[in-house]
Amino acid sequence: MTIPVNRTELIKQFEIVGYVVIRLNNSEDLIDSINYDVEKLLESGDFRTNSKIYSYNNSPRIVEAWKHSESIRNLVFHPQILSVMQSLFDQEPLPFSTINFVRSTEQPFHSDAVHFPTRPANQLAAAWVALEDIDLRSGPLQVIPGSHMNPEFVYSQIDKPLAKSLSDVKSLYSAYEEWVVKFVKERHFVPVIPRLSKGDCLIWDSNLLHGSPECIDNSLTRRSQVVHYHFGARTNYYNLAFSDPISEKFIPRKVSFITETT
């Protein structure tokens, strides 16, 4: 997919397929610095990882590394990313989460709306930045164009009781992943693999199905950083595994936003 040449085209493409790809200008030094900082974190072992509930291999997902790296934080607030987000949502983007990857996640298709749901809905987007040229054998990011137009998923759709404790979340989420596989097949959705080079940034809608379900060679790196942004000063955040939007039952989710300075 070609990179939109103007904001009107960009917004239209985002509405139709659920994502856009932009090129971050003059990003080489910043990305090299991020890769250096991530390697140092890996050597030190002083980093947090994503919950094992959402882990599918032994490659760590480094979360909140912006607390340790000025370069990672600078990418969070990259002016091009913020400008595009502002254009797409007509609201100030509020970053709250970073994840740095060294290799593919090998994660099945899913939407971010399941992980970070909001009221009103769709007050969320993500920016996935390639920190190197992405080899198609390395388990590249895949997206399903148009899948964002479907209603947001709720667990009552699959007749599963809501989680009562954290130990219930894994089985509930696995049931959701199985539902996605059937949903994609029934709707005849066709995944695509955007060809992403170092410095490319893919921004997707919160309800877009995406993942890295196919990896030919997990020994290959797939260095990348994803940042999640919320929108709207009056937005409420909740935990879907413990909530039922149909019956207006919402269990709040705490959100801490990232600031430009410490």
**120, 204 Cβ separation under 8 angstroms:** no
Say how far apart CA 169 and CA 156 lie, in whole Å.
Answer: 14
Per-residue pLDDT of the chain (262 residues; tens, 9 = 90+): 555 658 899 999 999 999 999 999 999 999 999 999 999 999 999 999 998 889 999 999 999 999 999 999 999 999 999 999 999 999 999 999 999 999 999 999 999 999 999 999 999 999 999 999 999 999 999 999 999 999 999 999 998 899 998 889 999 999 999 999 999 999 999 999 999 999 999 999 999 999 999 999 999 999 999 999 999 989 999 999 999 999 999 999 999 999 987 6
- Quick check: is 2 in a domain? no
Q: Tokens 């936003």 map to which residue?
A: 257
Closest CA relative to residue 34, chosen from 72, 2, 1: 72
- Quick check: is 260 in a domain? no
Q: What is the DSSP string of 22-59?
A: EE-TT-HHHHHHHHHHHHHHHHHT--EE--GGG--SSS
- Quick check: is 160 in a domain? yes
pTM: 0.95
- Quick check: is 97 in a domain? yes
pLDDT score recorded for residue 29: 98
Is residue 98 helix, strand or coil?
strand
**Angle at Cα 235 formed by Cα 170 and Cα 158, nearest 5°?**
35
- Quick check: is 75 in a domain? yes
Using CB atoms within 10 A of its CB, is residue 32 exposed (0-12), middle (13-18) or buried (19+)?
Answer: middle
Output the six-digit token pair for 77: 């607030």
Chain mean pLDDT for the chain: 95
**CATH (domain of 69):** 2.60.120.620
Half-sphere exposure (Cβ direction) of 42: Cα atoms closer than 13 Å: 14
- Quick check: is 251 in a domain? no
**142, 184 Cβ separation under 8 angstroms:** no
- Quick check: is 259 in a domain? no
Boundaries of domain holding 69: 7-242
Number of domains in the chain: 1
**26, 16 Cβ separation under 8 angstroms:** no
- Quick check: is 261 in a domain? no
